[in-house]
Structure 1
Amino acid sequence: MQPAECSRVSATHWICLGQRKPAYILVTLCALMVLTACSTTANQPRFEANPQTLSSIGGYVNLSWNIEDAEYYSLQSDPPIPGMPLFTKQSHTTIRIEGRQNSNPINYQLILEARGSRGIRRFSTFIRVNGRLDCSSKTGLRAQSTAIWPEVKKVGLGNFDVPYVKGRLIAYHKNELSLQSNRATAQSLGAQWARDLGKGWSLYYTRPGQEAAVAQRLYQNGIGQYVQPEYLYQPDDLSLPPNNRSYDLEQAALFRQMDFELAWKQLRVDCLKPVIAVVDSGIYTQRIDLAPNLTPQESWLDVVGSNLEDPRPNQGAVEPFSGTGASHGTQVASIIAATTNDGSVLAGAAYNLLRVLPIKVFDAQRRAGTLQLAQALEYAAGATQIAGRVYTNPTPAQVVNLSLSISIPGFQDPYLEQVLEQVTRQGLIVVASSGNLDSASVGYPASSPFVIAVGAVDSNNKRAKWLSGFASNYGSGLEFVAPGTGVPVAHGPNTGDYALAYGTSAAAPFVSTAVGLYLLKQQQMGFSLSSDPGSFLKQVRKCLLSAAKNSAQWDIETGFGLISVARVVDPNNPGCFPQENP
């Protein structure tokens, strides 16, 4: 079997055209301000970060400032951020901040020094990167029916380095101070008493920008034994459209073909992310626009090494071999798991809600044999034996994506078929591409009854046709289709580089993502697919069929058609969420 590739067109599943790098367009807007008699101050120096809060995957932050009489600027960070200190004569820059691997957030203080005729002036702003969700918080003792208000032992000031509501302070005093004299004292210190919150807590208003200083005065004068800002929390809802630079121009239309945006609205961030194994040519795991959504390194596996005749497995490393087709696995993985809403170029169809397990099966000559695929499937499900050694997977997958095939009509691999049946009985869902040879026969392993077969369509929802003699395979056994024409994908080892992909290799990961999001929604709702893992595939197929746009009538070229992922995760869809588990 061979993977798809970009530069050669052969019996493969992938054609990439137009390798790209992201375009950065800086637009400066100049505005004229008319000063009236009401004006009291000139432009104030400012130093701003947008956004000020990032999710656990990290992302890009735009920094801008407006400081007169400065010749150049230096930027520093505490704690340090790679690339700093940074020196510039510009009034803006963009930085990339890495994500968090644990549940603890981190706050960065950015310090801008403006150097010019007025000497050195310093300004600061703060950026917060949230930690990963702590799964342990999902369990605990049930609350008592009658709550006992605990005594507040906290003394001092809250954290003013994190986002908070401007102009508001919350103060605590164990004696529940409420006398008019205390309110007058607070007002003299810059805090206007607003209301009693009960149990010793009070809300105060103050001038925006003065919160920390006023809190200090309230504490020092005994108005509050503890004073904090009103912290600003953000919803777990997924931002739409996501903040990715190529989304509106190149990705939105593709995702809307399968109603991904409507699906995202019905999902929430969850620490227990289903895993999709991408069994392929390897992945450039160093790309920071992909790495945060990969499983831990100890779970990665290269089952073959450089020569399938002399396999040298390597757990923890899946670097592709250089040459044609080296980016294939990275491209497939990026369709699923490119970091999303972080200011990077591409969004992933999973919107950071799923993880990818990289499993490399192709050797240096781009060959993968029956044994490599079988071992990869076994490893994805939990463990496999290679050359007499057992390799155990610490992060088993629930879904496997196979963007590969042998496109010979009627072909079957009995050894691999037995392994497919075995892992299916273990509860693994396998999705595979149908092939690119314009054949009226679905390639193998997509044609296996234990695999969900996926073909490709174009922007008009018609069977995809690319170059002469190359088009999506079709015919009996084809189940669903997905976008496979001009799909933006990560390309190469360098973060931000991408290409446009054409082929059923691009279509399969869309359906793998749909299955993964279905499992996530099941998990979030507390459903179980079945007490019998062997019937998982039956229920998943039933769900996908209920959400397919041609579900009423199978078509020889597009099967049951595109899947509405919004229907897949809709709890009111009985095809996916029956009242009683099968």
Structure 2
Amino acid sequence: MFPNVGTKGTGEPVVQPAEREFSDRAVHPWVPHLARFGWKICGWSASLLGLLMLEACGSVSSPLAYSAVPSSLPADGGTVSLSWPVERGTRFTLSSDPPLPGLPLQTEGGGATVRVGGNLSPNPTTYRLTLEAFGPGGRRVSTQTVEVAAPASAQRKCASKPSAQAGSAQRLGAELQGVGGFEAPHVPGRLIVWGAPAQSQAASRLGVQRVRSLEGGWAVYQVRPGTEAPTAQALVAAGQARYVQPEYLYEPAGLAVPPHNPDYGLSQAAVFQQMNWETGWTRLEPGCPAPVVAVLDGGFYTGRADLAPNLVSREAWLDVVGPDLSAPTPLQGRVDPANNLLGGHGTGMAGVIAAVTGDGSPLAGAGYNLVKVLPIKVFDAQSRTGTLQLAQALEYAAGGTTIAGVPYRNPSPAQVVNLSLASLQAGLNDPYLESVLQRVTASGVVVVASSGNAGAATLSYPASSPYVIAVGATDAGGNRAQWGSGFGSNYGAGLEFVAPGTAVPVFNGGLAGQYGNSYGTSVAAPFISATIALYLYQNAYLSGTLPTASSLLEGVRRRLISAAQHSWQPETGYGLVDVAKVLDPANPACY
């Protein structure tokens, strides 16, 4: 249970993650934490500590000779051979960012072979493979990069289609000459011909039959199956056609539904079906830049291989608070949780949106590899955060903030912010945070927040803000969730939508195989955040741009209402959102 931490000594409100976490599965009760281990080292004798510092923190000397071959891989991945010279008395540590299976690796040898998996992202993925040497020559470091190409279906530019001009079909035909490629899969016994005479005895002698005429001087011919290529060449050679091609075969370029994740059918399908996610996924195709959802939470296990590929680059991560809210120590590039409780919460919420999907790992993410998560740590080691930390995190998510006079620029600005947290007191109003929410919303960012878990008829803040989309939780039957005495989804005025919040499978820890079932409005909010992100993605796919207008929040709100279950009701707002309707290009309410 997250503690009731009240307020800081200054009277500044303190908020907490929106729920207590429960797990139906066995998870490791303790995960080693480097910061904790380092703190214990400080209690050892000065001489031993000095020896450790000399060993681990020695000065960096000359660069380390190191190679990675090949440095680029196709979209389906491959094997990379790493090599470096062996040195007596020297040990090596090889690590990867994003993480790869089997790394980090410690060895005294002179090489290693690393398997890099396929790239499911619509953009190329770059792995930084860092080699550290510790020995008589001091500490030396060298880094090589390996890029995995984007899938072929994702190579397409996400841009508006050029407008057609009159006569373009005729000009296209005029430029064609010869025979098209017959090596690609095509329909047997059929040719598409341009520039053929309406009637031709010569064509009949070649064993072809004109089936029908098409617009622009094209026609369909029938031939004996298996003779398509030689017949096409004969037609052109005999002057019976200017250009001949087969009728090519095509297949859906969309996402595999259901996704290839072992636990999806066992534990996730029923949860995702509440919002019709599977049909929604079939409306999507890879090929556009991924919208970014900033998740403001208690810390993140960014080393999980089933999450890391769908996080934005490390330089954008930000911890706005550090270990102690009373003396914040911001840090960019690190979002390590102070304990497993906080890490499980933040990692779990990020995974609902961005778990790597279709790669054979147990759980799927709602964003299906088309959405990136920006992790921002806002809770300290005592599960506390305050008005200023949330305000700074919101500003940073939108592009940048200043903390204690130091500017922090965000290289991966978010389009959506997920707040799976709530004020300790329902009905709270926080005017300063409200002003920041207003500014962030006006910049084109959509903020989503959990309604709170007290079972109250009043929303917690910031879900109660008009600048936020408020999300409650449902049980397995789609009703307002109530998990026990004094523990249920907050409802009432201001509640807009609900999403699954009962026994939702999530990441729970930093190690592979650590999963649990989550209960609460915290886990409901990411489903709506992912829905909004995919709506923005689909809009970009169809129009060529990501909308960033100051009126985006109201536009998104209207579109979600158009796809929701029912008119507004106190317990569930507008109800569950039908994701398939939100993503349907033929839906005039959305596109």
TM-score normalised by length of structure 2: 0.64
Offset, 1:441: 0.6
Alpha-carbon distance change, 308 to 234 in structure 1, aligned in 2, over 3 angstroms: farther
Which has the larger helix fraction? 2
Alpha-carbon distance change, 558 to 233 in structure 1, aligned in 2, over 3 angstroms: same
Partner of 2:357: 340
Alpha-carbon distance change, 150 to 312 in structure 1, aligned in 2, over 3 angstroms: farther
Distance (Å, rounded) in 2 between the aligned partners of 1:498 and 1:441 = 32
Partner of 1:316: 333
Is this contact kept in 2: 1:407–1:442, CA < 8 A?
no
Distance (Å, rounded) in 1 between the aligned partners of 2:347 and 2:162 = 43
After superposition, the C-alpha distances for 1:224-246 in whole angstroms (9 at most, x for unaligned) are xxxxxxx9997421111111111
What residue identity is the alignment partner of 1:386? I
Offset, 1:326: 2.4
Paired residue for 1:15, among 15, 21, 44?
21
Offset, 1:317: 1.2
Is this contact kept in 1: 2:396–2:408, CA < 8 A?
yes
Paired residue for 2:382, among 361, 365, 373?
365
Distance (Å, rounded) in 1 between the aligned partners of 2:585 and 2:565 = 18
Q: Indicate whether 1:195 and 2:229 are aligned.
A: yes
After superposition, the C-alpha distances for 1:88-141 in whole angstroms (9 at most, x for unaligned) are xxxxxxx985344896799xxxxxxxxxxxxxxxxxxxx999479446685999
Is this contact kept in 1: 2:275–2:579, CA < 8 A?
yes
Q: What RMSD, in angstroms, separates the aligned Cα atoms of the two structures?
A: 4.0
Distance (Å, rounded) in 2 between the aligned partners of 1:413 and 1:481 = 24
* Consecutive unaligned residues in structure 2, runs of 5 or more: 5-15, 29-72, 79-99, 104-113, 127-147, 189-225, 237-247
Paired residue for 1:549, among 565, 582, 586?
565
After superposition, the C-alpha distances for 1:277-311 in whole angstroms (9 at most, x for unaligned) are 10111211111101111111111111111122222
Following superposition of structure 1 onto structure 2, how do residues 264-283 of structure 1 map, counting pairs within 5 Å? 264-283=281-300
Partner of 1:538: 554
SS of equivalent residue, structure 1 residue 326: helix
Distance (Å, rounded) in 1 between the aligned partners of 2:232 and 2:283 = 36
Is this contact kept in 2: 1:480–1:560, CA < 8 A?
yes
Is this contact kept in 2: 1:304–1:312, CA < 8 A?
yes
Following superposition of structure 1 onto structure 2, how do residues 491-510 of structure 1 map, counting pairs within 5 Å? 491-510=508-527
Is this contact kept in 2: 1:379–1:391, CA < 8 A?
yes
Partner of 2:577: 563
What residue identity is the alignment partner of 2:502? T
Offset, 1:17: 1.9
* Consecutive unaligned residues in structure 1, runs of 5 or more: 5-9, 23-53, 60-80, 85-94, 107-126, 153-157, 159-163, 169-191, 203-230, 578-582
Is this contact kept in 2: 1:3–1:13, CA < 8 A?
no
Is this contact kept in 1: 2:122–2:287, CA < 8 A?
no
SS of equivalent residue, structure 1 residue 17: coil
Offset, 1:82: 5.6
After superposition, the C-alpha distances for 1:360-418 in whole angstroms (9 at most, x for unaligned) are 11112211111111011111111100111111111110000000011423211111000
What residue identity is the alignment partner of 1:98? G
Offset, 1:149: 6.7
Offset, 1:350: 1.2
Distance (Å, rounded) in 2 between the aligned partners of 1:304 and 1:16 = 26
Distance (Å, rounded) in 1 between the aligned partners of 2:515 and 2:301 = 13
TM-score normalised by length of structure 1: 0.65
Offset, 1:449: 0.4
SS of equivalent residue, structure 2 residue 342: coil
What residue identity is the alignment partner of 1:466? W
Distance (Å, rounded) in 2 between the aligned partners of 1:387 and 1:437 = 35
Offset, 1:57: 8.7
Distance (Å, rounded) in 2 between the aligned partners of 1:103 and 1:558 = 38
After superposition, the C-alpha distances for 1:432-476 in whole angstroms (9 at most, x for unaligned) are 001111111110000000000000010111111113221111111
Distance (Å, rounded) in 1 between the aligned partners of 2:396 and 2:177 = 50
Partner of 1:262: 279
Alpha-carbon distance change, 423 to 449 in structure 1, aligned in 2, over 3 angstroms: same
Is this contact kept in 2: 1:57–1:342, CA < 8 A?
no
Distance (Å, rounded) in 2 between the aligned partners of 1:389 and 1:337 = 30
What residue identity is the alignment partner of 1:297? R
Is this contact kept in 1: 2:157–2:287, CA < 8 A?
no
Alpha-carbon distance change, 491 to 11 in structure 1, aligned in 2, over 3 angstroms: closer
Partner of 1:41: none
